[in-house]
């Protein structure tokens, strides 16, 4: 990772247990401005738990989370989620069904009416949904709804975007286009992206850096090419074996 770019997200030694079982075990990772780090690993390895701790909706037992150099979680520190400059995108992107597209995108933006309308219009143009503002979510396709969710996540201009498999609910035909577009928009804005996925293909395609996770631990970190070509062990090699 180029060391000229400022680190937006820096996580050190996070651990979290449930019922005596350590599901996140000493996880450290970082993401620089305008970069995509993929947290990659099989189902159940602790990816979502890690993301939830970074977002502030769960607490670690140990470790530290820094955003733009500020400690937001650590010994004696817990900045609430709404005061962390992070955006969240999940697979279940849950738009408010009774609100229009424009109201969904503008929800929670603290701007006056005219400014909000301008910002929402600009965001909808960005995701190619100009003119969709007055519609309701049920009138939109899955891909269009996902783009509304993207516009909503971009609206407050977060410094860090946390994405938990947000593309896996989309059919293949739509997925590549929406995924490329989304990450381009985020990188262009200088946002640091932590993208969780269980698909090696997706990580190979989208990541500047891969953090490979297994059983709660990061077992390997590096550029996609390096992680793919020099897997740390047999299990890592097997995990990557069906990338095409
Ligand atoms: P991933 O996102 O990689 O699939 P998760 O972080 O969701 O993995 O889960 C890691 C492990 O922690 C799983 O075994 C899961 O069942 C367990 N787990 C997650 N959240 C809780 C919870 N709130 N209570 C108990 N166990 C949990
Ligand atoms: Mg998960």
Over residues 112-155, the pLDDT tens digits come to 999 999 999 999 998 889 999 999 999 998 888 988 988 898 88
Mean pLDDT of the chain: 91
Share of the chain above pLDDT 90, in %: 69
- What's the angle, vertex CA 90, arms to CA 87 and CA 93, rounded to 5? 100
Q: Which of 17, 45, 46 to mutate to test the pocket of ligand 1 (most atoms within 8 A of CB)?
A: 46
Report whether 45 contacts 215 (CB < 8 A).
yes
pTM, two decimals, is: 0.91
Q: Give the number of the atom of ligand 1 that is nearest the alpha carbon of residue 42.
A: 3
CA of 33 to the centre of ligand 1 (A): 29
Q: What is the DSSP letter of 192?
A: E
Question: Strand 7-18 and strand 21-32: pairing?
Answer: antiparallel
Which amino acid residue places its CA nearest to atom 12 of ligand 1?
A: 23
pLDDT over 80 (residue 232):
yes
Q: Give the number of the atom of ligand 1 that is nearest the alpha carbon of residue 49.
A: 6
């Amino acid at each position: 990772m180029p060391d000229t770019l400022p680190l937006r997200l820096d996580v050190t030694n996070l651990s979290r247990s449930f019922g005596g079982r350590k599901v996140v075990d000493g996880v450290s990772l970082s993401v620089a401005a305008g970069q995509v780090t993929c947290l990659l690993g099989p189902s159940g390895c602790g990816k979502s738990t890690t993301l939830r701790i970074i977002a502030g909706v769960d607490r670690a037992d140990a470790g530290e989370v820094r955003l733009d150099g500020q400690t937001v979680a650590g010994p004696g520190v817990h900045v609430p989620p709404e005061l962390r400059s992070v955006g969240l995108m999940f697979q279940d992107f849950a738009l408010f069904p009774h609100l229009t597209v424009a109201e969904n995108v503008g929800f929670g933006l603290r701007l006056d009416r005219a400014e909000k309308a301008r910002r929402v219009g600009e965001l909808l143009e960005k995701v190619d949904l100009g003119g969709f503002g007055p519609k309701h979510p049920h009138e939109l396709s899955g891909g269009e709804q996902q783009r509304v969710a993207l516009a909503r996540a971009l609206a407050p201009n977060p410094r860090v975007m946390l994405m938990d498999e947000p593309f896996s609910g989309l059919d293949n035909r739509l997925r590549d286009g929406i995924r490329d577009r989304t990450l381009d928009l985020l990188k262009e804005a200088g946002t640091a992206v932590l993208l969780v996925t269980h698909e090696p293909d997706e990580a190979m395609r989208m990541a500047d850096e891969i953090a490979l996770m297994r059983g709660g631990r990061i077992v390997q970190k590096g550029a996609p090419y390096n992680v793919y070509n020099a897997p740390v062990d047999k299990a890592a090699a097997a995990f990557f074996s069906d990338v095409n």
